[in-house]
Amino acid sequence: MLLGSRNRTAASLSFLLFVIFSIASMRQMACAEPPVAREASPTDVSSAVDTGVEQERAHHWLEAIETYEKALKQWPDNGDLKYGLRRSKIHFGIERRYNDASFDNRLLRLPRYAALELFNDVLEHVRLYYVDEMSATSFVAHGTESLYIALGDEKFLDRNLKGVEHERIADVRRILRERFWNRPVGDYSAARETVSEVCDLAVAKLGISDTAVVLEYVFGGCNCLDEYSNFLTPDRLTDLHGNINGEFVGLGIEMKAENGKGMFLVNVLPESPAEQGGLHPGDYITQIDGTNCREMTTDEAAKLLRGPQGSRVTLVVQNPGEERSRSGQFIRRAVEVKSIPVAQIVDPRRGIGYIRMTGFQSTSPRELDAALAKLSHEGMRALIWDLRGNPGGLLPAATSVLDRFIDSGVLVSTRGRSLDQNSSYSASPHVKYDLPLVLLVDEDSASASEIVAGAIRDHKRGAIVGRQTYGKWCVQSIYHMPDGAGLRLTTAKFYSPKGNNYTKVGVKPDFAVSIADALLDAAESHTSFKNPSVLKNGQTGEGPRAQATDRHLVVKSRLGGRTLPPADDLDMKAALDVLERQMQPPTGR
């Protein structure tokens, strides 16, 4: 069972090339809304809408998503913003699919009957396993909306309807809006009939591939589910399993597109082909095998960077601090990604150890055992466990690492509509580390990280320091679909040992560190932590936000790699202060 990590949303601007390419998340929608004229909005709201629309016109979908999401925090009930956000996310999902080689080479080549069977399989899994009941009408309505928007998407049109007159396409869109928009679907068996009817219409009027139409209902239908559920192309499914297992084939870079500059390297993973070839965070990739990538999207460049193990790729790289670019050839190979990049003693005098855990993958329990053994050998008497920016991972990994610290009782429980999703996980007789413990969390600590925080809180096992966690308290399961595809569904919600579910709320820290102070000092810090005495000056590290910004990139780099937190980390200062109080001997009378 996958405890789906807090999936990096469509607004995420950085992607692990050999890890998991972020899935465009779609917020839950009831029924699709037609693009009708809306009432005028206040001037300040209008400005946000105008900005988003301009970004959409430029096909800058990620920027538009970020604009709409930011504005909706101020004006959460504005219809223009809501529809702009949904429209941008659907466009982003369409373009991601059509930049995906496995979608093009495998799914688009399915015959009509196979595509319809795939639609049936997805719908049946939603009916049986999705955590909440979902009507066939809602699923089909969102598929219709996705097709409607696809018929106005440049990437979709270029692949499926090149040369077809605009008037003919507009006529089909009009029919979709008038005859099929939110059309009631009696039951799940009738859903296929509706999709077949739309196929017949589109083929007759446009000569489009039946399969391209059906696949919009497969992918688009999932937009009615929560933001963590989606249909996966074969390549996305492979990436997801690589993320679970902690091993991938690729170069070992994390990048984001910067228009006109190329691919900005957010992170270069240790012991990867990229690191060994001299790439560094902050570099820009400007050419891939002779192709200029300065104007490419991240997905377009990622498509060129993909390749089988042992294959070669030539990159041209520019460092902002250097006048001349450099080129090099890199060999794609398997790269092991560790979920614990840092395990060190940060205060030898008091024996305080520090462990940073960046995810919960199948190797995490083994990595934690090795880290704890190493630190114990070095004299550890207390521990700071850093889960800031940790988006989650596997449910068994979360319970297994918790089992190292909690003596007895329930660690977490899950509840879903299907009986096999109802489980309770308890502590085992495993060897325990009974030592003072501080857990560092922030607003990007999600899912499995929150399982740990909830159990630490309910069992009073340690102190939680930082900021309120993300609030993703649900479980995803991965189902293998025909032709190598996959379906990720939210199948259960999880609950802390005391029965609490903190969905969209998160776990509050025992000792809060102001995000304003954290961000201010993060922007000013340039040094790394070298010795425990410097740590007392304090500084925070904010985990990576889903809505990435330049600040995001600076802060994320501070928490990545193999180095300790910076010298002025406020969260670390607070953690050390807490441990100092806990470790003081009781005062005698």
Residues taking part in catalysis: 447, 458, 472
| First vs last C-alpha separation in the chain | 54
Collapsing DSSP to helix, strand or coil, 483 comes out as: helix
Evaluate whether 501 touches 474 at the Cβ level (below 8 Å). Answer: no
* Residues contacting 334, CB < 8 A, separation 6+: 247, 248, 249, 309
Evaluate whether 56 touches 91 at the Cβ level (below 8 Å). Answer: yes
Evaluate whether 510 touches 454 at the Cβ level (below 8 Å). Answer: no
Rounded Cα distance between 268 and 253, Å, is 5
Rounded Cα distance between 554 and 558, Å, is 7
Q: Within a 13 Å sphere around the CA of 2, how many CA atoms are in the beta-carbon half?
A: 25
β-strand 253-258 against 262-268: which pairing, if any? antiparallel
Q: What are phi and psi of 424, to 5 degrees?
A: -135, 130
Task: Report in angstroms the alpha-carbon separations of 90 from 93, 178, 343.
Answer: 5, 20, 41
Evaluate whether 282 touches 320 at the Cβ level (below 8 Å). Answer: yes
Length of the chain: 589
Rounded Cα distance between 196 and 272, Å, is 48
Question: Which residue, 304, 95, 116, 309, is CA-closest to 196?
Answer: 116
Q: Among all chains, which residue has been given the structure tokens 């029919």? A: 175
Q: In 177-261, which ranges are E strands?
A: 230-232, 247-250, 253-258
Evaluate whether 510 touches 438 at the Cβ level (below 8 Å). Answer: no
DSSP state of 482: G
DSSP state of 104: I
The amino acid sitting at 422 is N
Evaluate whether 156 touches 98 at the Cβ level (below 8 Å). Answer: yes
What string of H, E and C letters represents the secondary structure of 299-348? HHHHHHHCCCCCCEEEEEEECCCCCCCEEEEEECEEEECCCCCEEEEEEC
Evaluate whether 315 touches 327 at the Cβ level (below 8 Å). Answer: yes
* Residues contacting 588, CB < 8 A, separation 6+: none
Q: Find the angle CA(174)-CA(179)-CA(181) to the nearest 5 degrees.
A: 85
Collapsing DSSP to helix, strand or coil, 501 comes out as: coil
Beta-carbon count within 10 A of 314 CB: 12
Tokens of 117: 């069977």
**Most distant CA pair in the chain: distance in Å?**
92
Q: Find the angle CA(58)-CA(63)-CA(69) to the nearest 5 degrees.
A: 130
